[in-house]
Every structure is written in C-alpha cells, then in structure tokens.
Amino acid sequence: MFQATNSRMPASAASGTAAAPVTYAAYQGETVRLTGGREVPAKAFGPVRSDDALRRILPESRPHVLEVDLRALGVTDFGAHRQFGHGLPVVPAPLELFWNDTALPLARYPNTGAIAIGAIVEPGSMPRNGDYSNRGGRFKYTDPRHARWAGVADVWLQGYFNHGFADDKIRVAAIDPVKQEVTLASPHMYALGSGQNYNQYVALNLLEELDEPGEWYVDAAAGRLYIWPPDEVAAARVTVSVVEQALVALDHVSFVTLRGLTIEEGRGLGLSIEGGSDN
C-alpha cells in the first residue's frame, strides 16, 4: 500500500493534452491511499489519567473511555470548530476520528433526537436583513442537562434556530443555570426564533456527554483524545484527520484522469479542480 499525506499535483507536472493525456492510477492489484490522516496505533490507547478529565466524564462512562496523547504521535494542530450553516461559507472541519474508515460521532447530547429551543430572551442581530452588529442571541433552555455544561469551553449547538430551511452550528458564549439561559457567541442568519416543532438543536463537543460506544472528544489544551471504543482497539485501523487544504488539486490542467485511488480523511476537500478541461 502506498500512502501519501497532502499530495498535490502542480499544474506544470499534471497537465496533459488530447494526444497525450495523463493518468494517475493505482497499480493493478494494489491499494493506493491519498490521505489527510494520521494513523493512531493500538499501543497509543491507555486509561484516562487526568483527574480533571475523570471529573468531567460521567461515572458510568469512566470504565469504558480510553485516552490518546496526540502530541506524542506528532499531531499538534487540532483544527478549530467554526460556525457554518445556511448562507455561510463552507469551512474546513476540525480534527475528526475515523475507525475502520468510518467517521465516528463527536460526543453530543442528546444521542438521538434534539432539544427544543425555549422562549427567546434576545433574538440577536439578523445578518440577513443587513444587521452586522454580530450580537449573539439568548434563549431559555428547556432541558436541565444544560446546567452540567456551565463554564465548559468550546461547546457548540447545531440545529434550526429560526426557519426550518436554515440550519446552523453556533458556539455557546455562556450558560446561566440560575436564569436557565443560553447565550450564543454569534448570530444566526435570521436571528433566533422558537415555538415551531423544528426549532431544535443538539449540543456538540462535550466530554461531559461522552456516554456511548463510538463517541469521542479532543481536549485541545491538553492534546488528548478521549474515546469510548466501538470495538476492539487492537483489531481496528484508527486515524485522525490532519490536513485542511485539498488533498489533490488540479489547478488549470487538462486531460488528467485519476483512477482507482482512495482519497480520504482530510479536513477539507478531497479533490479540487479549478479551470482546465477534459479532466
């Protein structure tokens, strides 16, 4: 197996012609991966040692959760969660975890279904109507579980914060368990609304909610990955994504064919084609 990280095909080397096209292909019977990921060996998994992490993990989950020191594997850039959704640019993903070529779910609450948005206290600014004052909205939460997340950094909510066609992922600025309110760090495109059956969200990126097989979480400050393995670690191929830019870029080239290649595990585009023809 050939494995290359962040393979890019420069225009000077990649372009072909109608009479002399260029093909990049896997050799017959061989597997070729162009990957933006880094493998995590089975020996890197071990018990959770941090007292702070153990305090945050639910007691019933602690016997199942393992940790990996990502920095010891040379992974030091964990990416960043970014807002995305209706009317917003496409952004690179943060570090993701793959188990036997399947992306595993980030620790979330609830595991199924969603949380209804409560009464709107402050709708926040509305970029759709030209209000770019960047004021995040505030609303009453309807699930007492939120109190457990008060003071936790980098919590994100993903859902339908006003219209049913406009989903969004927005960072939490603060949770007030006394007032039972959530303040968002940035606005939704249409400001906040509630009262419809689709005005719901899920909470993401919470070590406090790592509570079923397959879920995981990265503590960027500590450089540690926490996971409840979905099956035996020793029998699995485990990788984390590390590359944000396109893994293969065909920039203003022509008559290029890619065949039999596995392009995988990047944080951004697997394949980017700009300009050119007959590719």
Write out pLDDT tens, residues 186-201.
Answer: 999 999 999 999 999 9
249 within 8 A of 266, measured Cβ to Cβ: no
Give per-residue pLDDT as tens, 101-127.
Answer: 999 999 999 999 999 999 999 999 999
Amino acid 14: pLDDT: 66
123 within 8 A of 161, measured Cβ to Cβ: no
The amino acid sitting at 30 is E
Amino acid 13: pLDDT: 46
Query: Residue 242: is its pLDDT beyond 80?
Result: yes
Query: Residue 55: is its pLDDT beyond 70?
Result: yes
Whole-angstrom distance, CA of residue 87 vs CA of residue 24: 36
Q: b or e along 119-142 (b: 16 or more beta carbons within 10 Å of the residue's beta carbon)?
A: ebeebbbbbbeeeeeebbbbbbbe
Whole-angstrom distance, CA of residue 189 vs CA of residue 99: 35
Mean pLDDT of the chain: 93
Q: Three-class SS of residue 235?
A: helix
Amino acid 15: pLDDT: 86
Query: Residue 60: is its pLDDT beyond 60?
Result: yes
How far are the Cα atoms of 71, 170, 186 from residue 122, in angstroms, in the given order? Answer: 41, 15, 12
Query: Residue 9: is its pLDDT beyond 50?
Result: no
Q: What share of the chain is helix, strand, coil (3-state, %, to 5)?
A: 10, 35, 55
How far are the Cα atoms of 94, 117, 248, 257 from residue 263, in angstroms, in the given order? Answer: 18, 39, 8, 14
Query: Residue 212: is its pLDDT beyond 60?
Result: yes
The mean pLDDT value for 224-248 works out to: 96
pLDDT-derived band at 2, boundaries 50, 70, 90 = very low
Give per-residue pLDDT as tens, 67-79.
Answer: 999 999 999 999 9
Candidate from 7-16, 18-27, 242-251, 258-267 with smallest mean pLDDT = 7-16
Amino acid 149: pLDDT: 98
Q: Which residues pair with 257 in a beta bridge?
A: 23
Predicted TM-score (pTM) of the model is: 0.90
Q: b or e along 224-242 (b: 16 or more beta carbons within 10 Å of the residue's beta carbon)?
A: bbbbbbbeebeebebbbbb
Residue 27 contacts by C-beta under 8 Å, 6 or more apart in sequence?
none
Residue positions counted in the chain = 279
Give per-residue pLDDT as tens, 126-160.
Answer: 999 999 999 999 999 999 999 999 999 999 999 99
CA 131 to mean position of chain CA atoms:
28
